[in-house]
Amino acid sequence: MKTVILKPTEALKRIALLTQQFTKTVEVHSLEELEREKRIDVILLEQNEMSANDIISLREKFINQKILILTEQIDAFFEKSCITHDVLLLSMMNKERELLDKIQKTWFGLQEQTEFHNVIAFHGTHRQVGVTQLALSVGHTLGTFNHKTLVIGLNPYNPGEVPTMVGKSAYSFEQIYDLIQSNVIYDGQSLFPYLTHFDSFSYLVGNRDFYKAGRFESEPVEKLIRFAKDYFQVVILDIGSFYDSFLPLTGLKMSNTHILVSSQDFISVQEYKMWKEQVLNRMEFYPKTVFQVVNKFASKAIMTPKQMEENHQLPILTLVPYFPESNDAILEDGILKIAEYTAYSKVIDGLAKTISTEITDKKYKSESTNFLKGLFKKVKN
């Protein structure tokens, strides 16, 4: 959607940057410039000195466009004019995420997926960016927070083997897939014995049969995620960085939180841009929360965090520091979080706490909604 910002401010730029439907942004500094623009879909501006009469004039000139106005303080008369003329009025007093949620719900009808409130998808911008180790490290940490946690490998080309568990994880994704198809596995309880169990969490190793990588259908994957999210408190999906099969695409579809793992390498921008243009932008994903995590972060790298946000059009949740000798740590401990590198551990703890809060908030909202529905049913009866 072509989006025009009238008299751009940092707040308006952030909205344009972080709203996924706004694919092309143009900045203008006067109403005359705005009127010269062609094929406008969305207009963003701040109220400043605008009055209710100005809303009428603006709507008369731009009959079919979506119009959003940011204001410092909601005035009842001005708000009524906005409602009358189908203009979305948002207060700067709200948090950024609240503003973005309001846009999604009002203009695009995207409601919170409370059904998958406890499903988090970790996916990457490019190969070897570190998705699996982040998923496992966060899964381990959430388990230490007393959340019953499962990590599922949905990368069709990398099973995500844990070196310290080789030989102990007998079952992998492709075997579970077949057992779901044959109804041997039909819920979370029947799934549990086939998982690999660590001290703090459970793990389903990803696909070990590369011949089948492109042959998986979505229905058994959907069943697996439903079984898992009903039985476990937290389900983490290791999506990987290849988006050419039903495994990653179904995982992204059935998760309420997406965490994009990027790096400061140019390939991070290049490859993910290709995947978005050729695959991801053609799909319909409606996550409630979307973040970016920069892995292997180095303060002196050429690409800065601000550039990463601009390139991927996603806010950065945290910067995961570069882990020296990480390959040796994985071979020795299996999971980087267990290796006790302080700088890395502190960031993983913070990331896990954020996810824990997200899940708790959504669970509360979901249960409150179900309670009210039940209450209304009783009243009707």
Is 336 found in the same domain as 308? yes
As a whole number, the mean pLDDT across the chain is: 88
Report residue 291: phi and psi, to 5°.
-130, 165
Residue 221 is predicted with a pLDDT of: 96
Q: What is the mean pLDDT of residues 66-78?
A: 90
Whole-model pTM over 0.75: no
pLDDT at 76 over 70: yes
Domain boundary among 108, 126, 154: 108
Phi-psi region of 325 (alpha: psi -120 to 50; beta: other; left: phi over 0): left
Mapped onto helix, strand or coil, the DSSP state of residue 218 is helix
Is 198 found in the same domain as 124? yes
Residue 362 is predicted with a pLDDT of: 53
Percent pLDDT > 90 in the chain is 60
The answer to the question of residue 375 being in a domain is no
Is 155 found in the same domain as 120? yes
Is 141 found in the same domain as 34? no
The first and second tokens of residue 288, run together, are: 């409630």
Q: Name the residue range of residue 19's domain.
A: 2-108
Is 213 found in the same domain as 240? yes
Q: How confident is the model at residue 299 (pLDDT cuts 50, 70, 90)?
A: confident
Residue 88 is predicted with a pLDDT of: 93
Q: How confident is the model at residue 24 (pLDDT cuts 50, 70, 90)?
A: confident
Is 121 found in the same domain as 97? no
Question: Lowest-pLDDT range, 95-109, 298-312, 325-339, 361-375?
Answer: 361-375
pLDDT tens, 90-139?
Answer: 998 888 878 888 888 888 765 545 678 899 999 999 999 999 999 999 99
Domain boundary among 89, 108, 127: 108
Domain boundary among 86, 108, 130: 108
Is 261 found in the same domain as 353? yes
The answer to the question of residue 245 being in a domain is yes
CATH code of the domain covering residue 152: 3.40.50.300
pLDDT at 370 over 90: no
pLDDT at 326 over 80: yes
Q: How confident is the model at residue 167 (pLDDT cuts 50, 70, 90)?
A: low
Is 134 found in the same domain as 104? no
Please give the residue that has the higher pLDDT: either 108 or 176. Answer: 176
Q: What is the mean pLDDT of residues 181-197?
A: 95
Percent pLDDT > 70 in the chain is 92
Residue 348 is predicted with a pLDDT of: 95
Q: How confident is the model at residue 84 (pLDDT cuts 50, 70, 90)?
A: confident
Is 172 found in the same domain as 251? yes
Query: What is 132-195 written as a DSSP string?
Result: HHHHHHHHHHHHHTT--EEEEE--TT-----GGGTTT---BHHHHHHHHHTTS--SHHHHGGGS
Beta strands in the chain (DSSP E): 2-6, 24-28, 42-46, 66-71, 88-91, 119-124, 149-153, 196-197, 202-204, 234-240, 257-262, 289-297, 316-321
Q: How confident is the model at residue 166 (pLDDT cuts 50, 70, 90)?
A: low
Is 266 found in the same domain as 282? yes
Residues whose CB falls within 8 Å of the CB of residue 157, separated by 6 or more in sequence, listed in order: 207, 210, 213, 240, 242
Give the number of domains in the chain. Answer: 2
Is 318 found in the same domain as 190? yes
Residue 111 is predicted with a pLDDT of: 52
Is 197 found in the same domain as 331? yes
pLDDT at 285 over 70: yes
Residue 290 is predicted with a pLDDT of: 87
pLDDT tens, 223-255?
Answer: 999 999 999 999 999 999 999 999 999 999 999
Residue 366 is predicted with a pLDDT of: 45
